Structure 1
Amino acid sequence: MDSFIGSSAALGAVVGVILALTGAGGAILAVPLLLFGLHLSIAEAAPVALLAVTLSAAVGAVMGLRAGIVRYRAAVLMAVAGTVVSPVGLWLAHHLPNGPLTLLFALVLAFVALRMLVQTPSKANPVLYAAQPLPPCQLSNATGRFVWTASCSRALALSGVGAGFLSGLLGVGGGFVIVPALRKATNAPMHAIVATSLTVIALVSASGVVSTAVAGRMNWSVGLPFATGALLGMLGGRRAASKLSRRHLEQGFALVAALIALGMVVRVVIGT
């Protein structure tokens, strides 16, 4: 039992370091690590991953709130939309066979890896950026807050729905949905987008954790040490993150994610 707890904590620490080095999207590797490391099914691993994501994202969200960079009205709107849809994903996760669910997760992981490999820095070319239409959510020069319109509310709510559904279904925080959505729908600076994304992830993931716990489907003997390890790993990895190239880290993460996605597909094929 002690070795099992130790293995769970060690895997959590790996996830925490990945979170510190690559950002919120790195949490998507939590489920595959539980799948291969502790031999859990997707339905069993997803709530455990959500618990770790909730605690880790909450730390980042609190830091962002203290710095005053979280667009909290946008975060609340997205989180409410995601929280409404998250139980649907949870229900599907426990009613779909493990094989198709694993393949779906591998597909999402491969998509995240591909996008990280080919993405370009946001707004790198001011001439090209100026030629693009303005995003629906504009920050007011006077207040520093979003000017709320129907198109702005709709764009943010839809991204929250997507993040909430995937959070419940696959146990991922949804940072790989929220961050690109905020980059496309708003003119907020990147540090505000990341902080706002972490706030949404913390709120939506927390709702998934509560739903799972109420249903009696949370494996606390795995979840608590895993989440603790992730939190400690993230706090420890923050120092190393500032000394390494962000782009190289993202490329390395993408390659690892692609290999893991391939491994998940092979596992399903061999198991059938």
Structure 2
Amino acid sequence: MHSLLTQAALSAASGSVVGFSLGLVGGGGSILAVPLLVYVVGLNDSHVAIGTSAVAVNAGANLGTHARSGNVKWRCATTFAVAGVAGAYLGSTLGKIMDGQRLLALFAVLMMVVGGLMLRNRAHVGNSAVSLSKENLPKLIVSGLGVGVLSGFFGIGRGFLIVPALMLATGMPMLNAIGSSLVSVTAFGLTTAANYALSGLIDWQIAVLFVGGGIFGGLIGARLAKSLGSSRGALTSVFAGLIFAIAIYVLFRYLS
């Protein structure tokens, strides 16, 4: 059991890791948040960890940075987010009634799927001139709804599910998908957080520290995102490896 001071420091440090990942590659932070809150910060209740991780103000700060850089395709991003909010509410309602440890185990399986999606899309180029159209509108609505359900159910995995979904639905480049994904990360996170808050499943003190660290890490990550260029594929591969490693650890803890 951590002391209050140690837990506060670990919360801020963990939040900075989350924000850095969100700013750099449009995800990873949210999928790392629950394991960090449970195994590093020391939250014993998996549902409280999920609810706390869903407080996505740090994603909103990163969204501002990407928006100023012109990376956000607003019409596509908004369509996807609106469709997904309903899914996020449904998913978070279902997630609250499932056993916490079983939810973590399913989360680990999802992490492996997400890691695979990252590797699959690491070399994607895309069309930077893409916009909302009759062709991609149905794809955005269907994929937004589906990703919203998964986001709400697990309280995690939003960025790394949304980025490949946006790229698949519209053909936009990865940098635009990263910036645009943060619209949905924020919307889904707030929807899930509100649902969990109604059930008293958020530790607000830790959430504030987590968000504070996330804003700091997110500013650094977003600045690096534009300058890395050709190195992004290699970085994505390394991060996918980290996702697989954490998933195996979570499954090991569940089975043991």
CA separation in 2, counterparts of 1:237 and 1:185?
25
Are 1:159 and 2:143 counterparts? yes
- 2:103 matched to which residue of 1? 101
2:81 to 60, 72, 79: 79
Instruction: Check whether the contact 1:163–1:173 (CA below 8 A) recurs between aligned residues.
Output: no
Paired residues for 1:162-177 under 5 Å: 162-172=146-156, 174-177=158-161
RMSD: 2.6
Paired residues for 1:67-216 under 5 Å: 67-123=69-125, 145-147=131-133, 149=134, 152-172=136-156, 174-216=158-200
Deviations along 1:86-112, whole A, 9 cap, x unmatched?
122222222111232111100011112
Task: Note the C-alpha offset of 1:63.
Answer: 3.2
- 2:238 matched to which residue of 1? 252
CA separation in 2, counterparts of 1:29 and 1:246?
19
Structure 2's unaligned 5+ residue stretches are none
After superposition, the Cα gap between the structure-2 partners of 1:2 and 1:157, relative to the gap in structure 1 and judged at 3 Å, is same
CA separation in 2, counterparts of 1:210 and 1:41?
18
Task: Note the C-alpha offset of 1:59.
Answer: 2.2
CA separation in 2, counterparts of 1:88 and 1:215?
15
CA separation in 1, counterparts of 2:164 and 2:248?
24
CA separation in 1, counterparts of 2:22 and 2:171?
25
CA separation in 2, counterparts of 1:157 and 1:190?
19
TM-score by length of 2: 0.85
Instruction: Check whether the contact 2:122–2:232 (CA below 8 A) recurs between aligned residues.
Output: no
Task: Note the C-alpha offset of 1:204.
Answer: 1.9
- 1:48 matched to which residue of 2? 52
Deviations along 1:24-61, whole A, 9 cap, x unmatched?
2442111111121114333111121111xx22321232
CA separation in 2, counterparts of 1:118 and 1:145?
23
CA separation in 1, counterparts of 2:61 and 2:91?
25
CA separation in 2, counterparts of 1:207 and 1:65?
22
Task: Note the C-alpha offset of 1:261.
Answer: 0.6
After superposition, the Cα gap between the structure-2 partners of 1:67 and 1:116, relative to the gap in structure 1 and judged at 3 Å, is closer
CA separation in 1, counterparts of 2:175 and 2:237?
20
- Secondary structure of the equivalent of 1:195? helix
Choose 109-118 or 6-15, whichever is displaced more: 109-118
Q: Which has the larger radius of gyration?
A: 1
Aligned length: 250
1:8 to 6, 11, 17: 11
Amino acid aligned to 2:16: A
Structure 1's unaligned 5+ residue stretches are 125-137
Task: Note the C-alpha offset of 1:243.
Answer: 5.3
Task: Note the C-alpha offset of 1:238.
Answer: 4.2
Amino acid aligned to 2:214: A
Task: Note the C-alpha offset of 1:255.
Answer: 1.5
After superposition, the Cα gap between the structure-2 partners of 1:265 and 1:230, relative to the gap in structure 1 and judged at 3 Å, is same
TM-score by length of 1: 0.81
After superposition, the Cα gap between the structure-2 partners of 1:190 and 1:256, relative to the gap in structure 1 and judged at 3 Å, is closer
- Secondary structure of the equivalent of 2:202? coil
Task: Note the C-alpha offset of 1:225.
Answer: 0.6
- 1:33 matched to which residue of 2? 36
